Structure 1
Amino acid sequence: MAIAEVTVIPIGTATTSLSMYVAEMQRVLEKQEGISYELTSMSTIIEGELNSVWGAIAALHEAPFLSGAKRVSTSVKIDDRRDQVSSSKQKLQSVQEKLGR
C-alpha cells in the first residue's frame, strides 16, 4: 500500500484564503474509490494501492482549476512500502513505541 502526502496550492485566485479550495478537494476525495485519506493542517494524507492514489492526486490537482484557479502547484511525497503492510497510523505508532509511550 502507498502512503502519499499531497499539498495542492491554487495560484492566481481572487483571495489569499484557500479553505474554499481545500473543502472542495475534500469533496473530490470523498468520491474516489480504493483510498482512505486524512486532512491535516498543511496537507492531505492519502493511502491505498498506488494506481488509486495516483488517480486521487490527479483529481485533486484538477479541482482548483474547476473552481476558477488559473494556476495550480501540487507537491507529492510517496512512501510505497512493499515488504510489509504499512499505514500512516502504523508509522506514527512505531515512533510512539520508540519514545516509550
Structure 2
Amino acid sequence: MAIAEVTVIPIGTGSTSLSAYVADMQRVLDTQVGITYELTSMSTIIEGALNDVFTAIAALHEAPFLSGALRVSTSVNIDDRRDKESSSQQKLQSVRSRLSGV
C-alpha cells in the first residue's frame, strides 16, 4: 500500500483564505474508490494502491480549477513500501513505541 502526503495550493484566488478549497477537495476525496485519507493542518494523507492514490491526487489537483482557481501548485510525497504492510497509523505507532522504550 502506498502512503502519500499531498498539498494542493490554489494560486491567484483573490483571497488568502483557502478553507473553502480544502473543503471542496475533501468532498472530492469522499468520491474516490480504493483509498483512505486523513486531513491534517497542512496536508492530506492518502493511503491505497498506488494507481488509486494517483487517481485521487489527479482529482485533488483538478478540484481548485473547477472552483475558479486559475493556477494550482500540488506537492506530493509518496512512501511505497513493498517489503511489508504499512500505514500512516502504523508508522506513527512505530515512533511512539520507540519513544516509550517498548
TM-score of the pair, normalised by structure 1: 0.99
For residues 30-45 of structure 1, the aligned pairs below 5 Å read 30-45=30-45
Identity %: 78
Q: Which runs of 5+ in 1 are unaligned?
A: none
Q: Distance in 2 between matches of 1:21 and 1:98?
A: 37
Q: Which amino acid aligns with 1:49?
A: A
**RMSD over equivalenced CA pairs, Å:** 0.7
Aligned-residue offset at 1:14: 1.8
Partner of 1:53: 53
Q: Distance in 2 between matches of 1:60 and 1:47?
A: 14
Q: Which runs of 5+ in 2 are unaligned?
A: none
Partner of 1:11: 11
Partner of 1:26: 26
Partner of 1:74: 74
| Number of residue pairs the alignment of both structures matches | 101
Instruction: Note the alpha carbon deviations across 1:2-55, whole angstroms, 9 max, x for none.
Output: 000000000010211000000000000000000000000000000000000000
TM-score of the pair, normalised by structure 2: 0.98
Q: Distance in 2 between matches of 1:14 and 1:52?
A: 32
Aligned-residue offset at 1:70: 0.6
Aligned-residue offset at 1:57: 0.1
Q: Which amino acid aligns with 2:91?
A: K
Instruction: Note the alpha carbon deviations across 1:67-95, whole angstroms, 9 max, x for none.
Output: 00010000000000000000000000000
Give the ranges of 4+ consecutive aligned residues of structure 1 lying more than 6 Å apart after TM superposition.
none
Q: Which amino acid aligns with 1:28?
A: V
